[in-house]
A and B are shown apart, each in its own frame.
Chain A
Amino acid sequence: MVWHILRKDLRLLRIGVLVVATIHLAGAALRSWLGLFPEPRQLVIVADLLSLLSLLGIVVLTVAVMHEDAVPGVRQDWLIRPINRIDLVFAKLLFVMLVVQGPLLLADLSQGLLDGLTFPDSLGAAAARNAAVLCFFSLPALMIGAVTRSQMESFAVAVVGLIIYVAVFLLGVVLLLGVRTSIGGSGLSWMFGATWYALALVGSAVVVWLQFFWRKTSIARCLIGAGGAAIILSSFVPWRAAFALQERLSKQPSSAAAIELAFNPLLGPFKLPAGSAAASGAGLYLPLRVTGIPVAAVVFMDRADLRISDVSGRTLYQGRTNLTVDGVGSIQDARLEVRQSEPGAAAADVHQRIFIPASIYAGLKDQSVRMEIDYSLTLLRAAAVFSLPASGGTVRLKGLGWCSTRIDDDGDEVQLRCLDTGRTPSCFSAFLQYMPGSIRNPEAHFCDPDYTPLATNLWPDALSRLGGEVPFFDRSGLTRYPVDGSKLADSRLVIKTYEPREHFMRHLNIPAIQLSRFAAVPGA
């Protein structure tokens, strides 16, 4: 009877199914047509809108199919019919998998093929995205559909959920109490998604069982609420615990064993680049010496927790180095990436920017205080090197997919775009090399680590993208590039990708430091 019920639902929802399938296919066709350098901007917005509508359509259809045989209520005809509950559940699940998600799979597969990717790769990427969409959108929608009677009721539940989320989580916890999410914005943020997936899988199984076999709507609704709260709370998981898990997932344990961080006062204060604005009084630049970095490797700071105490050990300030409770700071500005300054060098000297609330800094800057920092670090090692013509080259690179370069509209940068299936490297560097000789420009680094073990792409489609801008001309005249516009025709863009090898922690203890000594000073 599973197919019989499914056919009935299809008959009832056929128009919606057709509309949503058309949106999937139109979106895929448009993205494929836009290519590696999507332009014009208006069409990119349309493509994004279609992606959004496509996911929204999946949610609406999933809720709708559940409402065709709504569980809550006492007036539904199916309740007194000899309809096997297991058949009904399977019919609904099959409808979601085949009718709701099937067209998305076809659209994603078609897009991959149209973009020149192989059938197995395209199918793999489409299937992975399908699984992600199932967990992220369809199963939660299925749960909502199982505990509500109408689209209006579902919409009300979604709105109430959003209001609670904004009121309690964003306004209450984040803004008023100043509590920051622990893993958000870091390479560990995949744990939030993984929690969502796990809870969606377990939650939907429990809710469907409760509803279809016991019709315990109140309990099921409470469970959904608890699951939602658990997902939100997962972004507040203690950093130490989350990073400990990430450490256990290291691909090459002990590869960072030799890496050490030390306070290096001899490096002196940080000199701001000439012409830049005066440094904020709330920040300092801590001089560090990092030793033991392997060849062709990068040490990336995922997070650093700072504790400042007085001579008696009393804590005067405690917080993250990149963001403060009063909102001062920036994840981007406080990033720390350490590379060997030159091949074979024994150590790398860097300044770590640390944000401290202005009032705290004003009170402490001239005192001698103790500073302790717990670093959560990741060692990334070069994984592969690729090259392609600096301009106008479109080549298929195994490991990066279809890549293309072009000169930007301003005529001062080479734009790189790659399109692939699966997971693209989240850390890479690129430089221009003039091929007749060995002239090359400085490396441009692009690192936004994502340590997810899941090779899925949810938005805007099933494909993964990599891109960056590599300068070859500075209009201000401050920087001169050896490989400039005149040499581009004979130059290649060399790309080095990095893969995370080990996640590790280090503790830095500075018994006595005067903060004001390490404020930035104006450059020459």
Chain B
Amino acid sequence: MIIRAAKLHKAFGGHEALRDLSLSVPEGSAYALIGANGAGKTTTIKLLMNIIQPSSGDATVLGVNSRRLSARQFEQIGYVSENQDMPGRLTVGEYVDYLRPFYKTWDCALERALLSQLRLPMGHRIGDLSHGMRLKMALACALPFRPKLLVLDEPFSGLDPLIRDEFMERLLHQAGDMTVFISSHELPEIEGVTTHVGFIDQGTLLFEESMAELSERVREVRITLAREVAMPERVPEGWVDMAVMGNVLSFVDTRFKHDRLAGNVATLFLGIKDIDVRPVALRSIFTTLARAARERGASSWSGIS
């Protein structure tokens, strides 16, 4: 694992930002930490990058305790954040010139290619750049040394769609073997690149698994019955977001297995005319699970994960 966190806990005064968060990011993966605003994504990343210290628990990044991360590790870590303060009075060119000597593996050809492809104005002061340009600048400064780990903290926040696409295109182009750890609530943008996902809500990691497993086990189910149906009083574990409309019952099965679904439906309903099972987009999975979690309360989260 390139990142491993064990029972990370962080409190700011009386507010618990993270509660015993544990996660594992496999090497070479594209791990998305998803969650609503204020869920604890940025706090997690800042703890992992040793920008803030945990109240308890620990984490390792590139095999090193996150609290002991040094220049040697940061030479292999690219970091892009929506709220990254770069020296605003330096020009883009001056800042790239400044950063270059700190990285032994800095690839000047790649740097030139990135700067050109991202159309960054070399002579402009960083402070005069737009938010989108600054994010592109941060990306341009995070990739030329071919990092082993690329950490992206809400990289799409406030970006217009065109720049988002451009950003992702560059990122995918350069990704290669690097591990990408991305936090975002902009799910459509990351769906195509993510191999693993962790879902954080109110400082607690509710689940983490590979995208393949997640999309395999979560299905949108639509059952058409012969006659009108009432909402069943008890439903199998894992069925969430249930809705009834006439003779049609729909829900999301978060523990989908074809045989089990068929058995459960047959036990609960008579006169089944049709069962339609469809895969669910990451955005829908996230919103469904988040809604279900809030309706059920965190204690009963285990029922849907």
Contacts and interface: CB of A to CB of B under 8 A. Distances in A.
Contacts of B81: 75
Contact of A80 (B52, B74, B83): B74
A413 interface: no
B86 A77 contact: yes
Contacts, number: 52
Given A1-B101, A84-B71, A79 B49 contact: yes
A75 B79 contact: no
A311 interface: no
Nearest to B99: A81
Interface residues of A, number: 17
Contact of B74 (A1, A75, A81): A81
Interface in B64-83: 70-75, 77, 79, 81, 83
Most buried by A among B79, B84, B90, B102: B102
A11 B94 contact: yes
Given A74-B51, A77-B84, A82-B102, A12 B89 contact: yes
A4 interface: yes
B301 interface: no
Interface of A: 1, 4, 8, 11-12, 68, 73-77, 79-84
Contact of B52 (A8, A11, A74, A84): A74
B102 A74 contact: no
A76 B51 CA distance: 9
B227 interface: no
Given A12-B87, A75-B81, A80 B49 contact: yes
A413 B94 CA distance: 64
Contacts of B70: 84
Nearest to A5: B98
A80 B75 CA distance: 9
B90 A74 contact: no
Contacts of A12: 87, 89-90
Interface string B238-255: 000000000000000000
A12 B125 CA distance: 11
Interface residues of B, number: 29
A81 B75 CA distance: 7
B103 interface: yes
A8 B98 contact: yes
Interface string B34-51: 000000000000100111
B233 interface: no
Contacts of B103: 82
Contacts of A80: 49, 51, 74, 77, 79, 151
A470 B101 CA distance: 67
A77 B102 contact: no
Closest CB pairs A-B (n = 6): A82-B71, A82-B74, A80-B79, A82-B75, A75-B85, A77-B86
Contacts of A83: 71, 74, 102
Most buried by B among A1, A4, A76, A79: A79
A75 B101 CA distance: 22
B84 A75 contact: yes
Given A8-B98, A80-B151, 8 more contacts: A75-B84, A76-B85, A79-B49, A80-B49, A81-B74, A82-B73, A82-B103, A83-B74
B141 to A, nearest CB: 8
Contacts of B151: 80
A170 to B, nearest CB: 34
Contacts of B72: 82
A6 to B, nearest CB: 11
A90 to B, nearest CB: 14
B79 A4 contact: no
